[in-house]
Every structure is written in C-alpha cells, then in structure tokens.
Amino acid sequence: MLRKLATALSFIILGSLLNKSDYTQNQHTQSFLLFTIQRKLSGMNLKVIRLFYLLTGIEIWLIQLISISVLSEIMLNIPVPITLFFFLIGILFLDRIMSVKSILWLEILFIIALFSLLIFIPIYYFVQNGANTVYEGIRLYHPYLFYFKNSEILLFYVIIQLAVLGQVFFDKSTWYLIAFIKPKKVRRSLFSSGLILALLTLSFTAILMIALYSGSFGQFQVLIFTFLYEVQPGFLTFAFLVIVLLAIVTTLLVDMRATKRFFVTKRPYYFYLIGLMIILFTCFLSIDLTILGVIYSFAFLHITMLPFMLILLFTNRHIHKHSWLVIFLSIIIGIGIGLSFNTLYGLATSFIISSIYQLMLQTETIEKNT
C-alpha cells in the first residue's frame, strides 16, 4: 500500500517537474524519455541506459506473471506452467492484432472499472456492517502501525518514496502514455492520476483491513481471497478476477508498445520478446519468486538511477562520460551492504553514493565547458 501511495506522490512530483518547452518538441513521435536519452547521451552512457531501459521491463513482467500464477493456483486450479504458457501466447496474439487506440481504450476501461469496484466494495460493506471492522483490522495488523519513534520506520518510508520516484522517472510505460496527452494537459493529468491512485490505495487498504478482521493473517494474496470468499462472495469475486486480468493484460500491452518504440525495426523487437520469454520461464522454473522480492531486487536500480534521471530529464547540464560507471558502482556497493547488514541500508547507500558522485561529475563537466 505504501508503494502505491509513493507512486501517487511520484506522479504529482513528475507533473510539477516537467518542463513544457522541452517536452513538446517530440510530443507525438516518441516518448520524452527516449527523445532525451537519444539527444543527450552517447558512448557507454547511451549503451548502459538503453540496457537498463530494457531490463526494467523484466520487473513489470515478473510482477504480472506472479499475479497470474497466484490466480491460477488459488482461484482457477490450473497448473502454473500451463497457465503461463497460454497466457503469454494470448498476450503476444493481442499485441499483434490490437491497435494503439484499442489499447488506450482498454486502459481507460480498466481505470473506470477499478475505480468503481474499489470505491463500491468498502461503501457496500460499511453500509451493511459499519466501519468498525477497518479500525479493528488495523489494530490486529499491528497496534504500533503509526508509531514513528523507530528511526528505521522513517527510513523505510523515505527509501520507498525515493525508489518509486526513480522507477516512475525511468518507466517507459508512463512516458509512452504521457505522449498521447496534449502538452497543456500533461501536468493536470499527472496530478489527477496521483490523486486517483491515492484514493484507490486508501480504498484497497480498507478492504485489506476488513479481511484482517475476518481472521486471516497470511500473505497478501490470502488476505484478498479471504475477503472475496468469506466476506463478500459471489459477484464481487468474479468482478475482482476480471479486474485483475484486465490490469495485467493492459499493463503488459502498454509495456510492449512502449518497448516497440525503442527499436527502429520490428525484427530486433521480436528477438527481444523471445529472449524475454526465455528469461521469464527460466526464472519461474529455477527461483521461488515473490512480488516483494522482485520489487526489492529492482529497487537498487531505481533508487540509484534517480539522481541521474533528475539531471538527464530536468536540467540542461551535459552528462559526464563516466556517469554509467557511477551507477554500476553504486548498485554493487549498495547490494553488498544490503547483503551484509540490511536491505534498507543498502538502498540508502546506493542513493547517497549515486547522488554525491553524479553531482560531482556534472559540476566538473560544467566547469570544463565554461
């Protein structure tokens, strides 16, 4: 839930930072992110950032496929490998036949359906049973949930926000969708998206608290299905299944279209898809994957990239030729500290090292140019 709230705040921050004059130059031909990467980077910087641009797609696919595997095991009772195989074939087929306009309409339909369902469920439940169960669910979840004297809790909140902010700034799907918004409405749209996402997160939190009050203290997916099967069975279970499938399909289709813009011709794009499918199947067969594990693994990349992306997207400074090396070293050192001590300390270290040395490199470059 904190990650969703952090995403909502990141959309608002992105909207406030966007420079309209730079943004409108290539508004309708490609994403502002790709346009800036190609215009301001060269050499190893360009190669490394292009590599990271493709690697971030793996995180999106892993999270969506983990969600599909959970649905397959708990709700559909179908073996995961069979589900994943047919699901991936279906996604490739949809990507082949659907136009950009139809994908955008599907995205709008998903947002409307999700907003309606997540707002309707708590209200419907509260009318029947009152709101006391949410309060009791919070108490059962953790009596000190809002206890801030522990310094690690504050560090946790800050690290989540920084990592998610870096993810949003470097998210090809976000920039792909922004490219379809009229320049004058971009900031307003990002502010609105942030507020809507925050409202949906609060509504979804209420649903989880109701499930906790019902007696389930297992994993996240267990809480959701406890609510659906025990608290609100029937139509809402079916509606939830449809919403989840719609969310997964739209997310992956948008990511695929955003990735397609990265390639000049279609042939390398299809080679990338084949390689991606091989990596995904290998990960699922050899590693016990969890959504939280995937998020933490890629958080090192996102939080390290944040200082670099701020300089790249929102300043006119030249990018130093060794910026890519700083990113690599920051990630490696952060992971080392995370494995030795604590993941939060590792993420904080990656961000601090990246921030200090990126600023030092850019200052040195400006002085040389002047």
Decide which of 212 and 9 is more confident.
Answer: 9
Q: Answer yes or no: is pLDDT of 113 > 80.
A: no
Please state, rounded to an integer, the average pLDDT across all residues of the chain.
79
Per-residue pLDDT averaged across 120-148, rounded? 54
pLDDT in tens, 215-265: 544 444 555 555 555 555 566 667 777 777 888 899 899 999 999 888 878
Highest mean pLDDT out of 61-65, 105-109, 210-214, 284-288: 61-65
Tell me the mean pLDDT in the region 184-207: 74
Cα separation, 190 vs 70, whole angstroms: 31
Is the pLDDT score of 334 beyond 80? yes
Tell me: the pLDDT tens digits for 256-313? Answer: 999 988 887 888 888 898 888 888 888 887 888 888 888 888 999 999 999 999 999 8
Which two tokens mark 134?
């949410």
Q: What's the pLDDT at 124?
A: 60
Q: Are 12 and 194 in contact (CB under 8 A)?
A: yes
Q: Determine the pLDDT at residue 367.
A: 46
H-type helices in the chain, by residue range?
2-17, 20-23, 32-40, 43-71, 80-97, 100-129, 132-141, 151-169, 172-178, 186-213, 220-226, 235-260, 266-286, 291-314, 323-340, 343-369
CA distance 297 to 288: 13
Q: Which of 49-58, 68-77, 79-88, 233-242 has the lowest mean pLDDT?
A: 233-242
Q: What pLDDT, on a 0 to 100 scale, did the predictor assign at position 172?
A: 92
Instruction: Compute the half-sphere exposure of residue 174: CA atoms within 13 Å on the CB side of its CA.
Output: 24
Task: Give me the pLDDT at residue 329, please.
Answer: 96
Tokens 């409307």 sit at which residue? 112
Q: What is the structure's pLDDT at 366?
A: 46
Question: pLDDT by residue (tens digit) across 9-62?
Answer: 899 899 888 865 566 655 555 688 888 898 889 999 999 999 999 998 899 999
